Structure 1
Amino acid sequence: MGATTSSKSPPFDGNEDVTFDHFEILRAIGKGSFGKVCVVQKTDTKKMYAMKYMNKQKCVERNEVRNVFKELQIMQGLEHPFLVNLWYSFQDEEDMFMVVDLLLGGDLRYHLQQNVRFQEGTVKLFICELVLALDYLQSRHIIHRLMAVFPLLFFSEISSPTTFCWMSTAKLLTVSLHGSSVTFFSWQRSCSEELSGHVHITDFNIATTLTKESHVTTIAGTKPYMAPEMFNSTKPTSYSFAVDWWSLGVTAYELLRTRRPYHIRSNTSANDIAHVFKTATVMYPAAWSPDMVSLIKKLLELNPEKRFSQLKDIQSFPYLSDVNWDAVLQKRIMPEFIPMKGRLNCDPAFELEEMILESKPLHKKKKRLAKKEKDTSKSNSSQASHLQKHLEMLQRDFIVFNREKVRPHHDSIQETMTKSGGMHREDNQNNHL
């Protein structure tokens, strides 16, 4: 992708808004429910980010604008070591953009599909890191509702963004598509990249805010990871933060066993799911330690009132009594599993799709918009007029965000969170779980 974005970006003035022009596109790495994701580099700081972009017209046609705006509103108020944090949001005539932390280690689903077998010590650290993130979200009154091994949890981060770069020369690949030979560019990493192996929560597009005055009853999420209280067969019932902790229990079980505790699929009806929870028995392999089994059982408690759903529940559990929580928060615990260097840790088909099948590829945006400005013809149909009205409303109401302006004197996230309190372990304890 980057080979065709050769036009020089304008110099960046710290007082102006960040736009698409301030980034160099490197390659496509993912596809979400509302848009696609690519790796970008900010031209002034040389820092690397992931940029999610969503086509405005498609969002309007699919009635997804409200979800995008809600995700932006939630993410601009969050910052935590184990979240994928939002840095910038902006728009142009075609797309809405969200620029977030770049994590290149792949999601947990990808590694399970690569036949990675996670050991108990690895899963134990994941649980510790994720409960800190869930506790933080809970303190902000946020229910995530999408906790799962995909598309939430990403391994690895670039610890030194300025040292991460891509080869200036591209490797040419030739692909046969429906009998035609298509040549495209594939970028390769050449500079040092440090993969940390820590987990992060992303994707807030169905997250919601819970307050004392409001009740949440909407069924939303990925069915195999959704809590029993979300599937009341008689009438909608309200639920709370405990649904995310149930999802954490399902995720932990799946990482250890490579299958989920209940046989539930995305097409299973709500009534059938409610029946499964009433009749099925969760099996725990004899090879698992009794302590881990006890912990997962506390997370997979059918009754939300009895389920572990607060940080203090986890911290007081005997299995985790020796954890140095400050060290976990500051990422000073070395993970047992670190994604393999020298590979993308995601499906390369994303880039093929962007280069070959996408009708409006991102790397040709500047030329396309420039040509569009010259074309003054407009459709007078009522349908086009209706769409244009919604697009104008979207343009007007879009939330522009720049974390650097919000926090000009930027301390590290770890230092900020350490000062926020809540960790009752002394810092001079050993850094092992």
Structure 2
Amino acid sequence: MGGHHSHKPPVFDENEEVNFDHFQILRAIGKGSFGKVCIVQKRDTKKMYAMKYMNKQKCIERDEVRNVFRELQIMQGLEHPFLVNLWYSFQDEEDMFMVVDLLLGGDLRYHLQQNVRFTEATVKLYICELALALEYLQRYHILHRDIKPDNILLDEHGHVHVTDFNIATIVKGTEKASSMAGTKPYMAPEVFQVYMDGGPGYSYPVDWWSLGVTAYELLRGWRPYEIHSATPVDDILNMFKVERVHYSSTWCKGMVALLKKLLTKDPESRLSSLGDVQSAPYLADVNWDAVFEKALTPGFVPNNGHLQQCLETVRKEFIIFNREKLRRQQGQSGQLLDPEGRAVSQAQGKLQDGCNNNILAHACSRGCSS
């Protein structure tokens, strides 16, 4: 009976708060330190999302609750084509849930690890798209503080989306941030300076420095400075003082000039707004409206068609089972019935089971397991 109604979307009261029951879980796609991420489908609209589970107890143990709240507070006020946008948040006894845009193209770190060679044209478009995202965040007084390849996800067409507002912060007016936050290899000199000597604090230019490091790494395959998470802060500051960044002789002069302006150590002189970026000679030919509309075709398109195909097959072939219902239908006859209530022999039942396994094996042979 269930099969006949599977295509009819369930009716939810639109005034009812969205909760876990409004979604069908399709597949787990990631696991973090205090939760996991799944691909889900909203039962009424059939729209697909990513759902992030965060276990309350683990968040408390790791002192992460404040970060989760901050991320929720920041994300609920934002919506932009180059961000991973929040759609719903809710909780149950054990977990907190965030439902966000589903982006199946992988993050830029993954593609770097797969030895993808990003062309200058590809990175040029990324810089433009990310500049629009940073300018939008700036308008809302937000410092992301963790721009890096790991936090830039691609959609199926290859456009970039900034994710993870876990350590983002809000700075109003002339306020400055003063805590040492971020990922060391992508952190600007002034963030380390604050840690060492109190410094004057830092503001939006830190995100543009991180953009410069990211763009350099995408082009070259390694970062401009040999900084790791274990590198002591005074060594890092010394590196900034004495080392010169090497730019590849194969890159065009315009790209080198742009990267140099993003990687300027003095935040006052650093290129750090959309206007600054737009005035760079290298980007003089860019149609910014077309960038915003995602009308320009990225040079790198991730291959994720197999995942879409596989999800669709799983959805179609998934077996819905209810033992209570089956027992009621079997009644006193003691005969084995299939889910539609038809009598089957034990041998036939086993045979059908084998067929189902073959169907799923075939589905997964088309790329599901990769």
TM-score normalized with structure 1 length: 0.67
**Which among 127, 141, 157 is matched to residue 196 of structure 1?**
157
2:181 to 197, 220, 223: 220
Provide the C-alpha distance between the structure 2 equivalents of 1:70 and 1:9, rounded to a whole number of angstroms.
34
Structure 1: distance between partners of 2:126 and 2:291: 10
1:30 is displaced (CA, Å) by 1.9
Cα 1:15/1:327, change in 2 over 3 Å: same
Q: Which residue of 1 aligns with 2:85?
A: 85
- Give distance in 2, aligned partners of 1:251 and 1:54: 28
Partner of 1:47: 47
Trace 1:4-403 onto structure 2 (pairs within 5 A).
11-32=11-32, 34-150=34-150, 152-156=151-155, 195-212=156-173, 214-232=175-193, 233-344=196-307
The DSSP-based 3-state class of the residue aligned with 2:153 is coil
C-alpha change, 1:33 and 1:71, in structure 2 (3 Å) is: farther
Deviation string 1:290-319 (CA, Å, 9 cap, x unpaired) is 110000000000000000001111111111
Q: CA deviation at 1:344?
A: 4.9
Question: C-alpha separation between the residues in 1 aligned to 2:47 and 2:302?
Answer: 21
Provide the rounded CA distance (Å) in 1 between the counterparts of 2:40 and 2:280: 42
Measured against aligned partners, the alpha-carbon deviations of 1:50-86 in whole angstroms (never above 9, x if no partner) come to: 0011000111111111110010000000000000000
Larger radius of gyration between Structure 1 and Structure 2: 2
Q: Which runs of 5 or more structure 1 residues have no equivalent in the other structure?
A: 1-5, 157-194, 346-433
Structure 1 residue 342, shift from structure 2 partner:
3.5
CA distance in 2, matches of 1:58, 1:10: 33
Partners of 1:253 and 1:259 within 8 A in 2 = yes
Matched AA of 1:308? L
- Aligned 8 A contact 1:254 1:260 in 2: yes
Q: SS at the partner of 1:146?
A: coil
Secondary structure in 2 matching 1:112: helix
Query: How far off its partner does 1:272 sit?
Result: 1.4
The alignment-based identity, stated in percent, is 68
Looking at structure 2, the residues matched to 106 and 201 of structure 1 have their Cα atoms a distance apart, in angstroms, of 12
TM-score, with structure 2 as normaliser: 0.79
Report the Cα distance in structure 2 between the residues aligned to 1:289 and 1:36, rounded to whole angstroms.
Answer: 42
1:130-186 Cα offsets, whole Å, 9 max, x none, are 000000000000000010011x11111xxxxxxxxxxxxxxxxxxxxxxxxxxxxxx
Rounded to whole Å, the distance in 2 between the matches of 1:53 and 1:71 is: 14
Per-residue deviation at 1:217?
Answer: 0.5
Alpha-carbon RMSD: 1.7
For these two proteins, the number of residue pairs brought into alignment is 300
Contact 1:9 1:23 in 2 (8 A): no
Q: What SS does structure 2 have at the residue aligned with 1:292?
A: helix
Higher relative contact order (CA 8 A, sep 6+): 1
